[in-house]
């Protein structure tokens, strides 16, 4: 059979539901489409979320992030590494079979005005922000020829994920800070549970309601844990920071894997067994 893709890559601008239970989606290109069910997987600036929850602007989290890709070199670890300091942290991990290193450098700021994800910034500003970090980090940042900068925004977890024949998932429902690297994973988990709930339910409405009830608590826990990581990475109070970092060093020697075991609930979760 043939599937129509004439609305592919068109930006949705509005949603209407009619008395027959059909959903009409208006697009920026002026080509409306109708469907029996609408799933809004349209991210932080979702058009579907306000249809269910009203209009609320995303709030600035007080964090900005630079991203740069640099040539590999030196003695960087072959896995993801976090470097922490007061009010800022930096994450590195290898790309392209270790030939390059991805750098994400996060700094606390009080204000951020610009929208969007892809602002070019002077790498010297990133280097200045992390000038007090260890020589390994400074050497890494010296290899950055360009950097992108964006402000980290999010909503609260949406109180309403579904109504009638409309639902949201992923960042449209529960945007999170990136400090657990779980944004895309959570969207995939949502999608599996949504499909499973619809498959098991007698009606679309019952399936969508079950989907939210199965996913909401875990989504909130992940969002809260990512926010907690932001605080832990950026400890400013010197005695507390020294105590926390000393505990991490001791744990890495005396009980390797201890830090990761704290997140067994996250990384050991099997979404395909949810609801069994």
List active site positions.
93
H or E segment to which residue 21 belongs: none
Whole-number Å distance between alpha carbons of 228 and 190: 22
Q: Distance between CA atoms of 152 and 105, rounded to whole angstroms?
A: 12
- Is 179 in contact with 265 (CB distance < 8 Å)? no
Q: Are 25 and 35 in contact (CB under 8 A)?
A: yes
Q: Which residues pair with residue 23 across a beta bridge?
A: 17, 35
Residue with tokens 């600035």: 60
Q: E strand or H helix at 163, and its extent?
A: strand 162-163
């Amino acid at each position: 059979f043939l599937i129509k893709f004439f609305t592919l890559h068109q930006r949705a601008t509005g949603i209407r539901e009619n008395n027959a239970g059909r959903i009409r989606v208006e697009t920026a290109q002026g080509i409306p489409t109708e469907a029996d069910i609408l799933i809004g997987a349209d991210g932080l600036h979702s058009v579907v979320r306000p249809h269910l929850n009203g209009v609320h602007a995303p709030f600035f989290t007080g964090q900005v992030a630079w991203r740069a890709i640099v040539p590999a070199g030196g003695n960087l670890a072959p896995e993801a590494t976090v470097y922490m300091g007061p009010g800022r942290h930096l994450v590195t991990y290898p790309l392209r079979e270790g030939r390059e290193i991805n750098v994400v450098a996060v700094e606390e700021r009080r204000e951020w005005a610009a929208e969007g994800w892809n602002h070019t910034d002077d790498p010297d500003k990133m280097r200045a922000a992390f000038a007090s970090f260890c020589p390994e980090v400074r050497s890494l940042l010296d290899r950055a020829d360009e950097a992108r900068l964006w402000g980290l925004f999010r909503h609260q977890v949406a109180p309403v994920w579904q109504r009638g024949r409309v639902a949201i998932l992923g960042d449209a429902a529960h945007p999170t800070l990136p400090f657990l690297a779980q944004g895309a994973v959570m969207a995939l988990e949502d999608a599996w549970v949504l499909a499973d709930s619809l498959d098991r339910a007698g009606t679309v409405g019952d399936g969508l309601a079950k989907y939210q009830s199965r996913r909401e608590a875990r989504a909130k826990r992940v969002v809260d844990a990512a926010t907690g990581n932001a605080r832990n990475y950026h400890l400013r109070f010197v005695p507390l920071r020294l105590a926390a970092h000393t505990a991490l060093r001791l744990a890495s020697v005396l009980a390797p894997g201890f830090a990761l075991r704290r997140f067994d609930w996250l990384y050991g979760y099997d979404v395909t067994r949810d609801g069994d």
